Structure 1
Amino acid sequence: MAKILIAGLGKGIKKDGKYSEANYSIENENQETIIYKGENFITSALEKHFAIDKTIYIGTVGSMWDNLYSYYCNKYDFEEDEDYTFELLEAASNATKDSDFSEINIKKFNEIFEGRAKIILTKFGMNTNEIFENFNMMMEIGNILNDGDEIYLDITHSFRSNAMWMFLVINYITDVLDKNIEIKMISYGMFEAKYEKEIKENGENIKLVISPIVNLKAFFDLMNWIKGANELKNYGNAYTILEMIEDDDVNKKIKTFSNSINLNYIGTIKRNLESIKKIIDKIDSIKGPGKLIIPSVLKNFIEIFGNIKQEYEFLFKLAEWNFKQKRYAMVAININEGLREFVANLLEIEDRVVDFNDENSEIFKYFKKIKHSIQYAKDHMKGTFDKKEEKLYKMFEHTRKIRNEIAHSAGKKDTAINDVESLKNYVKDVSELINDKELLKYLKLKYNV
Structure 2
Amino acid sequence: MAKILISSLGTGRFSKSNSSERKYDYTIYKFQNTDKTYKTPFIVEALCKCLEIDKLYLIGTSKSMWEEFYYYFSNSSGQTLDEEYWDKLSDMVTNFKVGGQKLTDEDLSKVNETIDNYLKNIKADAIGGSRCFIIDYGLDEKEIWSNFDVIMQIGETLTDDDEIYLDIPHAFRSIPLFLYIMIDLIRILKLKNDFKVAGLYYGMLEAIGDLGYAPIVDLSPLYNMTLWTRGAYDFLNFGNGYLLADLISKQELSDIIRNISDIVNINFIDEFKREIDHLSGLLKDTNTVDPIINYMLPYLMTFVERFKGINSSSQLQFALAKWYFENRRFAQCYICLAEAIVSRILEEYRARDSRIKWNNDSREKVKYLIHRTDFGNMDKFKDMCKIYKEISSIRNLIAHAGFADREAYKEAINKINTYIRCTESLVFKNKHLKEIPVLFPFDKLANN
TM class, shorter-length: 0.7 to 0.9
Stretch of structure 1 that moved more, 107-116 or 76-85:
107-116
How far apart are the structure 2 equivalents of 1:170 and 1:370?
63
Residue of structure 1 equivalent to 2:73: 72
Q: In the alignment, which of 15, 28, 31 is matched to residue 27 of structure 1?
A: 31
1:435 offset after TM fit, Å? Answer: 5.3
Greater alpha carbon shift after TM alignment, 399-408 vs 1-10: 399-408
- C-alpha displacement of 1:140: 1.3
What are structure 2's unaligned runs of at least 5 residues?
117-127, 441-448
User: What's the counterpart of residue 261 of structure 2?
Assistant: 258
Instruction: Pick the aligned partner of 1:403 from 389, 395, 412.
Output: 395
Aligned residues: 417
Would the aligned equivalents of 2:4 and 2:55 in 1 still touch at CA under 8 Å? yes
Give a deviation string over 1:394-438, Cα, whole Å, max 9, x none. Answer: 4312332233334455845652222222224323432344454xx
Distance, in Å, in 2 between the alignment partners of 1:327 and 1:349 is 35
Choose the corresponding residue for 1:148, options 139, 154, 161.
Answer: 161
SS at match of 2:388: helix
Query: 1:339 is matched with which residue?
Result: 341
The answer to which of 1-10 and 362-371 deviates more is 362-371
Q: Look up the match of 2:329.
A: 327
Please give the alpha-carbon distance, in whole angstroms, between the structure 2 residues aligned to 1:273 and 1:111. 54
* Alpha-carbon contact 1:88-1:104 (below 8 Å) kept: no
> Any idea what SS the aligned residue of 2:247 has?
coil
Residue of structure 1 aligned with 2:250, choices 228, 241, 247: 247
Select which of 354, 357, 367 maps to 2:360.
354
Contact 2:105 2:132 in 1 (8 A): no
Greater mean alpha carbon deviation, residues 275-284 or residues 214-223: 275-284
1:222 counterpart = 2:225? yes
Moved more, 281-290 or 9-18: 281-290
Give 1:11 shift: 0.5
Unaligned 5+ residue runs, structure 1?
A: 198-208, 375-384
Matched, 1:417 2:423: no
Q: Which among 300, 303, 306 is matched to residue 304 of structure 1?
A: 306
Among 387, 393, 404, which residue is 2:385 paired with?
Answer: 393
SS in 1 for 2:37: strand
Note if contact 2:343-2:363 (Cα within 8 Å) is conserved in structure 1: no
Question: CA contact under 8 A between 1:59 and 1:158: conserved in structure 2?
Answer: no
Q: How far apart are 1:327 and its partner, in Å?
A: 1.9
Aligned equivalents of 2:98 and 2:218: distance in 1?
31
**Contact between 2:345 and 2:433, CA under 8 Å: does it hold in 1?**
no
Corresponding residue for residue 181 of structure 1: 195
Deviation of the 1:366 alpha carbon: 3.4
Q: 1:418 to 1:66 in 2, by over 3 A?
A: same
Report the counterpart of residue 292 of structure 1 in structure 2: 295
Identity %: 25
Residue 60 of structure 1: how far off its partner (Å): 0.9
Deviation at 1:363, TM superposition (A): 4.2
Q: Contact 2:8 / 2:58 at 8 angstroms: preserved in 1?
A: yes
- Shift in CA distance, 50/111, structure 1 to aligned 2, threshold 3 Å: closer
Contact 2:165 2:200 (8 Å CA) reproduced: yes
SS in 2 for 1:98: coil
The 1:443/1:272 distance shift into structure 2, 3 A limit, reads closer
Deviations 1:62-111 (A, max 9, x none): 11111112123224544323333233323333334434425896343366
TM normalised by structure 1 equals 0.82
What is the match of residue 38 of structure 2? 36
Q: C-alpha deviations, 1:312-354, integer Å up to 9, x for none? A: 2221110111122222221111000011123334566753562
Which secondary structure does the structure 2 equivalent of 1:194 belong to?
helix
Aligned AA (1:301): F
Query: Does the aligned pair in 1 maintain the 2:282–2:288 contact within 8 Å?
Result: no
CA contact (8 A) 1:344 1:363 kept: no
**CA pair 402-110 structure 1, distance change in 2 beyond 3 A:** farther
Aligned mates of 2:369, 2:179 — CA distance in 1: 62
TM-aligned CA distance change 1:50 to 1:249, over 3 Å: closer
Q: Secondary structure at the match of 1:101?
A: coil
Q: How many Å apart are 1:42 and its aligned residue?
A: 1.1
Alpha-carbon shift at residue 373 of structure 1 (Å): 2.9
1: CA distance between counterparts of 2:24 and 2:400?
Answer: 70
